[in-house]
Homo-oligomer: A and B are copies of this chain.
Amino acid sequence: MPDTTPPEPPRAAGGGPLSYAVFQLARTHRGHAAAMLRAMNLHPGQELLLMQLYDRDGRTQAELLERVGLDHSTVSKSLRRMQEAGLLTREPAPHDRRVMVVHLTEAGRALREPITDMWRTLEEISVRDLTPEQIETFTACAYVIEESVRRHAR
């Protein structure tokens, strides 16, 4: 329920139709996700780290970092707050005292189902007014675009 007023696209200064659509869609999407995450006392982004740990517990901070694609400082600070919130633990690895091994706590594991439900709900809402072919095309195009942008970025 954050904003009931849809943003207006600027006529001037271009604003590529597709790019601007991506931008606005992502904002709406993220806003709704944030509202659902707040219900489980999570901040946006934290659920991504948890999901990687659900995939495999005991990951190293560098592994998480690479998988979520964020800056290491962002991950470092988020993990510290999540540790203080009791969602996970961070212990130095015995063989290499530089690396921090991250383990889920019981409270962290308890959020697996709510997070899964959140994503499923978001997906259901998103595809509600699309045909299966549109869903397929849209998702495929999204990956093509992402790859295109990433390839051009380097």
A interface, CB within 8 angstroms of B? 1-8, 10-32, 35, 48, 50-52, 54-55, 66-69, 112, 115-116, 119-120, 122-130, 134-135, 137-139, 141-150, 152-154
Contact = CB atoms under 8 A, between A and B. Distances in A.
Contacts of A124: 16
Contacts of A51: 10, 12-13, 15
Contacts of A3: 69
17 contacts: A5-B69, A8-B66, A12-B112, A13-B50, A13-B54, A17-B139, A18-B138, A19-B126, A21-B142, A22-B126, A22-B142, A29-B146, A29-B149, A125-B148, A130-B145, A137-B137, A138-B142
Contacts of A152: 32, 125, 128
By Cβ-Cβ distance, the 9 closest A-B pairs, closest first, are A16-B123, A26-B26, A7-B69, A21-B142, A10-B51, A12-B54, A13-B51, A14-B119, A14-B116
Q: Is the interface of A mostly helix, strand, loop or mixed?
A: helix
Nearest to A125: B152
B22 A29 contact: yes
Given A28-B153, A126-B145, 15 more contacts: A7-B67, A8-B67, A10-B52, A12-B51, A18-B135, A19-B119, A19-B123, A21-B146, A22-B25, A24-B69, A25-B26, A25-B145, A29-B146, A31-B153, A126-B149
